[in-house]
Amino acid sequence: MNGKFISIEGIEGAGKSTQISFIHDFLESHGKRVVVSREPGGTELGEQIRELLLAPREAGMSEDAELLLMFAARAEHIHQVIKPALQRGDWVLCDRFADATFAYQGGGRGIDRDRIQAISDWTLKGIQTDLTLLFDLPVALGQSRVIKRQQQKDRFEQEKADFFEKIRDCYLQRAEAEPQRIKRIDASRDIAAIQTQLADILTELLAA
């Protein structure tokens, strides 16, 4: 694998989408070919699964079904997009990856971490991010940003604040456990300050 794999993580309203274009342009300005993708999604099948996962539904969805759908989409994504891109020497920039499953289905839903790890090991087959950028901010601020979008909330965005508090806690625990891979970004700051921090982190990765 000659390319590098970067994922973007964070709770709803953390501003990930705003910064993905900056990261993409920064890497391309340094001569890297960049493939931008997202999870769940990234492939035709993955996008269909995304619709199932995000669509609000009165009947809900079982936690196990949610977990397995996430990994079904991820398996296809790795096979069709991520692994081929890395083998070509491209850099992959992905909006969410495996850390999101540990945070949302593990922290948020309360699914046992060992169960998630077992499925993750089987699905990823050694694929791991070289860098994960965790856009972190208080849950209340994130929720206020989601409201300001003035669009229908998806199934996850409709969850209560305590759900996102658990997710945030899990993300921060993972960042503390893997400080070399997961870099916390203070997403409550202004865009210029965030991009300065991003540029420093990406410059370090480019030099590695």
Q: pTM for this one?
A: 0.95
What percent of the chain has a predicted confidence (pLDDT) above 90?
A: 85
30 close to 183: Cβ distance less than 8 angstroms: no
Band the pLDDT of 1: cuts 50, 70, 90. low
Q: What is the pLDDT of residue 15?
A: 85
- Span 42-50, average pLDDT: 97
What pLDDT, on the 0 to 100 scale, is given for residue 18? 84
The contacts of residue 124 (CB under 8 Å, 6+ apart) are 74, 78, 98
Q: Note the helical H segments in 125-188.
A: 139-148, 161-177
Q: Could you read off the pLDDT of 111-131 as tens digits, one per residue?
A: 999 999 999 999 999 999 999
Give the chain's mean pLDDT. Answer: 95
SS3 200: helix
- Assign domain 5-207 to a CATH class: alpha beta
Q: Is the pLDDT of residue 57 over 90?
A: no
Contact criterion met (CB below 8 Å) for 172 and 187? no
Q: Write the pLDDT tens digit of every residue in 13-45.
A: 888 888 999 999 999 999 999 999 999 999 999
Domain layout of the chain by residue ranges: 5-207
CB-count exposure of residue 139 (10 Å: 0-12, 13-18, 19+): buried
- Are the C-beta atoms of residues 97 and 182 closer than 8 Å to each other? no
- Report percent pLDDT > 70 for the chain: 99
* Mean pLDDT value across residues 101-113: 97
Torsion of CA 91, 107, 163, 68, to 10 degrees: 70
d(CA 142, CA 162): 13
132 forms beta bridges with 7, 182
What's the pLDDT score for residue 13?
A: 85
pLDDT band at 190 (very low <50, low <70, confident <90, very high): very high
